């Protein structure tokens, strides 16, 4: 996996709003044990909502004399575990095909829901431009034609992000540019015009000697990498996935002591199907592997997986 190309098709307007909201609050995202608590609460909330909706449907059918068998799925839904750990094809790297002109501030390049994404502060504006590349045209409503970088593009309106620009530069290469807070369309067009045809590549925060076989990587940030099972849709959350992240020793949980390649580790007991393995790196940081759903990766494989992870110099701990 030397280079990660877009893995996801078009996104809806609602999904776009969620993605932008998550990016704007990424710095506030909890890490370690705090993150696990948030994900557990979200899973319980979804389960309760499902039971309420199903119960209401059954009640309506009963009033008209229709009888249906009621079978509620257990929550959270179990995800099939990989049968083995596999060797990756190479180190994880995120590459964006365009780069902004030099400005004294390096752009942030990450993988978000399987799509390479670049963010850069706009000059003379208290706003950040975010550019995403996708293999298909993003879904948008209220589009109007506009010239972008010498080609006919489109504008799209959103209540959350204001105007965004959408254009295609090559087959299978669609771009969407937006800003937060929203800025006028001419500011976006000016930023797009200055983009250079020079790829920007950044390494993932971790190097993996082994990876869960059959899983794909759908998010890479300076603090975390998510491994997505085959039956889980790629998105910007940690729900339903194995997440490898960097934390701090102040977030160390209680649990059973294990040895991870000579480093002390703590394996927490599963609670509501959730677990974590925390490895003390000896410098105030923790290597944390979290499972947000009951992925029954056998303990020996989990420890082998953790033992094969190297923290790269560009890794930054998440904020708890």
Query: DSSP secondary structure string, 155-181?
Result: EEEETTTEEEEEEEEETTEEEEEEEES
Its CATH class, for the domain covering 93-201, is: alpha beta
Rounded CA-CA distance 210/308 in Å is 6
Q: What local confidence, expressed as pLDDT, does residue 234 receive?
A: 92
**Residues near 161 by Cβ (< 8 Å), separated by ≥ 6?**
16, 17, 20, 178, 179, 180, 182
Distances (CA, A) of 248 to 1, 30, 206, 280, 302: 28, 12, 16, 9, 20
Which residues 6+ apart lie within 8 Å of 29 measured at CB?
35, 318, 319
C-alpha to C-alpha distance for 18 and 5, rounded to whole angstroms: 22
Q: What is the pTM of this model?
A: 0.73
Q: Rounded to whole angstroms, how far apart are CA atoms 177 and 166?
A: 7
- Token pair in block for residue 121: 């502060």
pLDDT of residue 305: 95
Give the residue from 171, 172, 112, 176 showing the smallest Cα distance to 138: 176
- Dihedral Cα 302, 305, 307, 308, nearest 10 deg: 180
* Residue in 175, 69, 169 with CA at minimum distance from that of residue 129: 175
Domain boundaries defined on the chain: 31-91+204-320, 93-201
pLDDT, block means (10 residues), the chain with 320 residues:
46 48 48 52 52 40 39 40 79 96 88 96 86 89 83 82 87 94 90 95 96 94 93 89 90 91 92 86 93 72 94 83
pLDDT reported for residue 189: 92
What pLDDT was estimated at residue 138?
85
């Amino acid at each position: 996996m030397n280079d990660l190309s877009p893995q996801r098709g078009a996104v809806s307007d609602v999904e776009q709003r969620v993605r932008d909201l998550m990016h704007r609050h990424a710095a506030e995202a909890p890490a370690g044990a705090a993150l696990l608590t948030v994900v557990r609460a979200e899973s319980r909330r979804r389960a309760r909502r499902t039971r309420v909706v199903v119960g209401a449907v059954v009640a309506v059918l009963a009033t008209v004399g229709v009888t249906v068998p009621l079978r509620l799925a257990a929550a959270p839904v179990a995800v099939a575990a990989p049968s083995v750990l596999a060797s990756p094809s190479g180190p994880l790297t995120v590459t964006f095909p365009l780069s902004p002109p030099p400005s004294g501030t390096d752009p942030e390049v990450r993988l978000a829901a399987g799509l390479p994404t670049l963010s850069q502060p706009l000059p003379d504006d208290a706003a950040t431009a975010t550019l995403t590349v996708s293999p298909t045209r993003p879904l948008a409503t209220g589009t109007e034609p506009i010239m972008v970088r010498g080609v006919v593009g489109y504008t799209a309106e959103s209540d959350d992000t204001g105007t965004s620009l959408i254009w295609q530069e090559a087959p299978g290469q669609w771009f969407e540019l937006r800003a937060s807070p929203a800025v006028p369309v001419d500011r976006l067009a000016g930023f797009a015009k200055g983009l250079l045809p020079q790829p920007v590549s950044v390494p993932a925060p971790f190097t993996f000697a082994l990876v869960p076989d059959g899983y794909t990587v759908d998010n890479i940030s300076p603090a975390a990498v998510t491994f997505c099972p085959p039956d889980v849709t790629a998105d910007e959350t940690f729900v339903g996935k194995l997440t490898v992240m960097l934390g701090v020793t102040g977030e160390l949980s209680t649990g059973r002591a294990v040895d991870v390649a000579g480093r002390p580790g703590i394996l927490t007991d599963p609670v509501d199907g959730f677990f974590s393995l925390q490895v003390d790196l000896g410098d105030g940081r923790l290597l944390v592997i979290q499972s947000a759903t009951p992925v029954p990766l056998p303990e020996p494989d989990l420890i082998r997986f953790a033992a094969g992870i190297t923290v790269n110099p560009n890794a930054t701990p998440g904020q708890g």
